[in-house]
Amino acid sequence: MQKRQIFQEITKTLYIKNIFTNNKNYNIYAKRWDVMKKILVVDDEPDVRETVKIILEQRGYEVITAVDGDDCLNKLHEENPDLILLDIMMPGTPIGDIVEQIEDTKIAFMSVVRISEARKKGLCKQDNVVDFIQKPFDVIDLVRRVELILNE
Amino acid sequence: MGLDDEGSKLKKSFFSSIDKKLTLLFVIVALVAPTLAIYYFYIISVSVLPESLSSEQSVLLETTAAVVIVLIAVDAGVIGFFVSRSISKPIKELYKATKDVEKGNFDVRTDIITNDEIGELSRAFNRTTAALSRMDEARREIDDAKTEFLSITSHELRNPMTPMKAQLQMLENEYFGKLTKKQKDSLTIIIRNADRLDKIIVDFLEISRIENARLKFVFRATNLKETIHETVEFMKGFAKEKNIKLVVKAEDLPTIEADPDRISQVLRNLVNNAIKFSPKGSEIEIDAEAKKDRILFSVKDCGCGLTPENQINIFEPFYQVEKAASREYGGTGLGLAICRGIVESQKGKIWVESKLGEGSTFYFTVPLQPVRKIEPIKILFSQKNALERKIKEEFETMLGPLGVGEFNELKSKNALWKGDLFEYIDSLTEQYILTDRQGNDFKNRIRCIFDVGKKVIDKEDDTLRDSHGREVIERD
């Protein structure tokens, strides 16, 4: 229990330092990698989309947004992103069908419901589903997870 | 003799009392009528034919008469039995049906097709149970709607928290530029309250899970000592601020099958409360000991203590010991209610013993064998109050004015569940305060109170169902 806490503490301070104070440098790093990774954020709530966009753009990623599942599929073919952040509770086409149609791109779910619910719906079976981000998310945690996924 | 015993007697005995009475009536009538007839016939024949009868003939006549009387009597008995059966059988059936209704099964119907008053009664009974069943259905629907509402609103409330918390966090971390001290202070207050709001929502979700019997327990072999030490180690960080010492006394605990996370959750809650209400530099004792069929955990503090009234109500949602103080101490007011839900989901008990000014000790029990079949427990708008009122009434009728005092004592120990009450009644009969008969009667009344409207959801079943057996979609 304590170890985990210490770990969290360390990562937190590290990331506050890196992301928030030296973010310009990080932008430079990101550009120097010369692979502006593209992230597609899919959420029916504009505020969530906007917030995630700001966070990730600051971090040096290219962020595009989609309002629902169908829009997500359209953008997927047009833009070919490296990662999709997908809300699993959205109106329109059932999310299971959407996920099935995404074959190669990595997906991380974002949701207010717990991961057990997503498992129950059979959403986590595919290999390209790599993470589950619990809403309301921690900004630092979100960035860390996205970074981990994209650096793999 | 208890109601249930009577019921079993009715079921078992071939001759019910109505049968006995009616058969006896038939036999008596059938005996008296031919006896009188034969007697008069005999007298007349004797007076008309005084000498024509030899002694042999008279004996023969008497024997014949006796045989005829016995035959008629037997006949009458048999006929009487069948006639009375036709009356007593529907009555028995009705009786069984009323017992079912008493147990909360409103779907029971009688099928008595007779054209007499009993048939009429049975039809009236069917109409009544149909009405009751409709009412019960409506009640359950309202109940489900309440829990569903709780679950949905909690999710809907949580959605806007996402961008709100993220944006606040970004502001706080000076993502959008430097902040002045005043701006920072203001932001701290906003964030603190946003976190508090989020915690309330999370607690509501937890409650909706408890109420729906959707609380997840992951049972595995658990080293309780380890669990306790880990929890306390975790809580030490919070205790440091007030320089409070956490002392673990638990020794020699068996390894049992349980959910360590849930146990830890309850312990954390209790220790957290203890820290909140303890003076600076004091000590909190965490203990656990193995009893014969359960593990008894306790958390003892040196806080301000609780009045008897507070001891009773402290596990109710949003109950705050002192309204003004609670705001200062923070918290959602749902922590102990959730603890109660978790403990009672495992058929354990949670209670507090305390004296004003002398600190309090919280206890809770965990069974040695995990309870896999989880029953829904009402926490918000619980039926507990109605239940307690009924039990109190029974105490008053059975024990007179003494009953109220006894009731309050049991209530403060949170010992108002069926098992506890039965134990208590047994102790009364053992001390000859109540006779066996009274004791049984008391038990039956208590059983009736608890058995009404009971529903069990089988957790072994993988799909989730509501009280009507329909599948439900889990909102976690």
Residue B189 has which token pair?
């207050």
Can you give the pLDDT at residue A8?
A: 59
Say which of A16, A112, A135 has its CB closest to residue B173: A16
Which residues of chain A lie closer than 8 angstroms to B162, CB-CB? 45, 47-48, 51, 112, 135-137
C-alpha separations of B118 from B94, B98, B110, B132, B194 in Å: 9, 14, 11, 21, 66
Residue B244 or B323, more confident: B244
Domain annotation covers residue A19: no
Q: Which of B161, B216, B231 sits opposite A136 (nearest CB)?
A: B161
Tens digits of per-residue pLDDT, A24-69? 444 444 444 446 789 999 998 899 999 999 999 888 889 999 998 8
Q: Would the pLDDT of B456 be above 60?
A: no
B471 chain-A contacts, CB cut-off 8 A: none
- The minimum CA-CA distance between A86 and chain B, rounded to whole Å, is 14
In a domain, A1, yes or no: no
Closest Cα to residue B16, out of B26, B6, B5, B2?
A: B6
d(CA A23, CA B149): 43
In a domain, A4, yes or no: no
Residue A86: predicted pLDDT: 92
- Listed range (A18-27, A79-88, B259-268, B397-406) with the worst mean pLDDT: A18-27
Instruction: Name the pairing type of β-strands A129-134 and A83-87.
Output: unpaired
How far apart are the CA of A6 and the nearest CA of chain B, in angstroms? 11
Please state the rounded mean pLDDT for residues A107-121: 85
A contact test, residue of B152, B158, B161, B175 with most A CBs within 10 A: B175
Token couple for B137: 């259905």
Domain assignment present for residue A67? The answer is yes
Whose CA is closest to B350, among B358, B360, B359?
B360
Q: How confident is the model at residue A109 (pLDDT cuts 50, 70, 90)?
A: very high
Residue A19 DSSP code: I
Residue of chain B nearest A49, judged by CA positions:
B163
State the count of interchain CB pairs (< 8 A) between A and B. 69
Measure in Å the smallest separation between the Cα of A54 and chain B Cα atoms: 9
Residue A40 resides in a domain: yes
pLDDT score at B476: 39
- Report the domain count for chain A: 1
CATH code of the domain in which A80 resides: 3.40.50.2300
How many angstroms separate the CA atoms of B365 and B300, rounded?
15
pLDDT (average), residues B454-464: 37
Predicted confidence band of residue B153 (pLDDT cuts 50, 70, 90): confident
Q: Please list every residue in chain B whose beta carbon sits closer than 8 Å to the beta carbon of residue A2.
A: 233-234
Question: What is the overall mean pLDDT for chain B?
Answer: 79
Q: Where does the pLDDT of residue B190 fall: very low under 50, low under 70, confident under 90, or very high at 90 and above?
A: very high
- Asked if residue A8 is part of any domain, the answer here is no
Report how far apart, in Å, the C-alpha atoms of B469 and of each of B28, B129, B144, B330, B457 are: 56, 21, 12, 40, 9
Domain range enclosing A54:
31-150
Q: Which two tokens stand for residue A120?
A: 């129950």
Exposure string of A59-89, with b = 16+ CB inside 10 Å and e = fewer, is: bbbebbbbbbbebbbebbeeeebbbbbbbbb
Contacting B with CB below 8 Å, chain A residues are 1-2, 5, 16, 19-21, 23, 45, 47-48, 50-52, 54-55, 58, 112-114, 116-117, 120, 135-140, 142
Given A20, A112, A138, which is nearest B175 (Cβ)? A20
Residue in the block written with tokens 């809300």: A87
Residue B168 pLDDT level (bands cut at 50, 70, 90): very high
Among the partner residues A23, A120, A137, nearest to B166 by beta-carbon distance: A137
Say if CB B381 and CB B364 are below 8 A apart. no
Chain A neighbors of B160, CB-CB under 8 A: 47
* Residue B188 in this model has a pLDDT that exceeds 60: yes
Q: Is B154 exposed, middle or buried (0-12, 13-18, 19+ CB in 10 A)?
A: buried
Closest CA–CA distance from residue B352 to any residue of chain A (Å): 28
- Please say if the pLDDT value at position A107 is more than 80: yes
- What whole-number distance in Å separates Cα of residue B327 and Cα of residue B333? 10
- Identify the weakest region by mean pLDDT among B149-153, B223-227, B269-273: B149-153
> Taking all residues of chain A, what is their mean pLDDT, rounded to a whole number?
80
At residue B348, does pLDDT exceed 70? yes
B-chain CB neighbours of A58 within 8 Å are: 175
CB contact under 8 A, B230 and A1: yes
For residue A16, tell me if it sits in a domain. Answer: no
pLDDT bin (cut points 50, 70, 90) of residue B377 is confident
Judged by CB atoms closer than 8 Å, whether chains meet at A1 and B233 is answered as yes
Q: Chain A residues with CB inside 8 Å of B159's CB?
A: 45, 112, 135
Buried b (16+ CB within 10 A) or exposed e, A97-136: ebbeebeeebbbbbbbbbbebbebbebbeeeebbbbbebb
Which of A3-7, B11-15, B74-78, B448-452 bottoms out in mean pLDDT, i.e. has the lowest?
B11-15
Residues 6+ away with beta carbon under 8 Å from B443 = B2, B421, B422, B425
Q: Is A137 close to B475, i.e. CB distance below 8 A?
A: no
CB-closest option in A5, A48, A116 to B162: A48
Q: Do B162 and A55 touch (CB under 8 A)?
A: no
| pLDDT at residue number A85 | 93
pLDDT for residue B8: 46
Structure token digits, residue A114:
């717990």
Residue B361, CB-side half-sphere exposure with 13 Å CA sphere: 11
Higher pLDDT, B33 or B345: B345
Predicted TM-score (pTM) of this structure: 0.62
B165: chain A residues, CB-CB within 8 Å: 136-137
- Ranked by mean pLDDT, which of A113-127, B141-155, B220-234 comes out on top? B220-234
Span B76-93, average pLDDT? 83
Stretch B272-300: mean pLDDT = 88
Q: What is the CA radius of gyration of chain A?
A: 16
Please give the angle made by the CA atoms of B139, B141 and B146, to the nearest 5 degrees.
95
Residue A56 within a domain: yes
A51 to chain B: closest CA residue: B163
At residue A84, the pLDDT reads 93
Q: Which residues of A touch B173 (CB under 8 A)?
A: 16, 19-20, 139
> Under a CB-based contact definition with an 8 Å cutoff, are residues B274 and B301 in contact?
yes
Residues from B contacting A (CB-CB < 8 Å) are: 155, 158-167, 169-170, 173-175, 198, 216, 230-231, 233-234, 237, 474-476
Residue B258 near residue B289 (C-beta atoms within 8 A)? no
The predicted model gives A8-20 an average pLDDT of 57
8 Å CB contact of A136 and B476? no
Does the structure show a pLDDT above 70 at B457? no
How would you label B446-474 residue by residue, b for 16+ Cβ within 10 Å and e otherwise?
A: bbebeeeeeeebebeeeebebbeeeebeb
- The distance of A73 to chain B (nearest Cα, Å) reads 24
Question: What's the pLDDT at A64?
Answer: 93
